[in-house]
Amino acid sequence: EVQLVESGGGLAQPGGSLRLSCAASGFSFSGYSMNWVRQAPGKGLEWISHISVSSNTIYYADSVKGRFIISRDDAKNSLRLQMDSLRDEDTAVYYCVNGFSTVGAGNWGQGTLVTVSS
Amino acid sequence: DVVMTQSPLSLPVTLGQPASISCRSSQSLVSSDGNTYLNWFQQRPGQSPRRLIYKVSNRDSGVPDRFSGSGSGTDFTLKISRVEAEDVGVYYCMQGAHWPLTFGPGTKVDIK
C-alpha cells in the first residue's frame, strides 16, 4: 500500500523557517517525481514545487520561488521542503504527492498544517 | 500561466442522477509527447485529495466505473453516471502540461 506521511508542520513567525518532510513507502520512491501542494484554510489546491527523478529538474511556483527549497533522499525514501522567510499567506496544509499523470502516481499524504502568525 | 476554469462551481445533485463538471484550460494541454495532461481529483470533506482520472480518461485503480473523463485540447468533462452519497465533495481538474502546474478552482458537489 502506498503511504506518504508528512511531518514538520507547526506554528512559525513571519520571517521564520520550517522544514517539512514526507516519508514514502509502498512504492519505488526513486522512480517517481515528487511534488508539494498546499491548501490554505477553506481554499483550493495550489501546486508549489516539483522535483524529478534523480533531482534533475526542479520547479517552483512564483509564490515560493527563492524562499522554499525542495529536495529528496532516495536512500531514505524521503522528500523535504525547506521553507524560509515565511509569510502569513504561507499558512496552509501542505501535501506531498508522488507525481500526477502516470500509472501509480497521484497519491497524496494526509498533509501537515503550517501556520504562520505572530 | 495556464488558467483552469471549472463550471459549475457548485453542483447540487439528486442521488442516482447523473452529474457533469466542465473544465477548460487557457492553453492546449497536448504535450510535445502527444499526451494530454489533464487530471481530476476528488476531495471528500475532511480528507486529502484523491486522484480519480489521469491523462483525460484513465480511471485510477479502485475508482468506481460511474466516474468517467473525456475531452481534448482545452475542453474537458468529468461525468458521474449515477451520483452516490459518497461522491459528495470538491472536484478539481489539474493541468500537468505546462509549468507551473495549475488547478481549477474546484466544483463542490452536494446532495439536494
pLDDT at A47 (0 to 100): 98
Q: How many CB atoms lie within 10 A of CB B71?
A: 19
Q: Contact B54/A106, CB-based, under 8 Å?
A: yes
pLDDT in tens, A11-54: 999 999 999 999 999 999 999 999 999 999 999 999 999 999 99
pLDDT in tens, B5-37: 999 999 999 999 999 999 999 999 999 999 999
pLDDT at A59 (0 to 100): 98
* Cell digits of residue B8: 459549475
- Stronger pLDDT, A104 or B90, i.e. the higher one: B90
Q: Contact A100/B51, CB-based, under 8 Å?
A: yes
Q: Per-residue DSSP letters for chain A?
A: --EEEEE--EEE-TT--EEEEEEEESS-GGGS-EEEEEE-TT--EEEEEEE-GGG--EEE-TTTTTTEEEEEEGGGTEEEEEE-S--GGG-EEEEEES-SSSTT---B---EEEEE--
A108 neighbourhood in chain B, CB within 8 Å = 48-51
pLDDT at A11 (0 to 100): 98
Task: Give the model's confidence band at B48: pLDDT under 50 very low, under 70 low, under 90 confident, else very high.
Answer: very high
pLDDT at B7 (0 to 100): 98
pLDDT at A66 (0 to 100): 98
Q: Contact A101/B92, CB-based, under 8 Å?
A: no
Q: Is A52 near chain B, with CB under 8 Å? A: no
Q: What is the mean pLDDT of residues A57-71?
A: 98
pLDDT at B78 (0 to 100): 98
pLDDT at A15 (0 to 100): 98
How many angstroms separate the CA atoms of B21 and B41, rounded? 12
Residues of B with CB under 8 A from a CB of A: 35, 37, 39, 41, 43, 48-51, 54-55, 58, 60, 90, 92, 94, 96, 99-106
pLDDT at B17 (0 to 100): 97
Q: Is A111 near chain B, with CB under 8 Å? A: yes
pLDDT at A34 (0 to 100): 98
The single residue listed with the C-alpha cell 502569513 is: A88
Q: What is the CA radius of gyration of chain B?
A: 13
* Residue % of chain A over a pLDDT of 70: 100
Q: What is the mean pLDDT of residues B58-87?
A: 98
pLDDT at B42 (0 to 100): 98
* Residue % of chain B over a pLDDT of 70: 100
Q: What is the mean pLDDT of residues A88-109?
A: 96
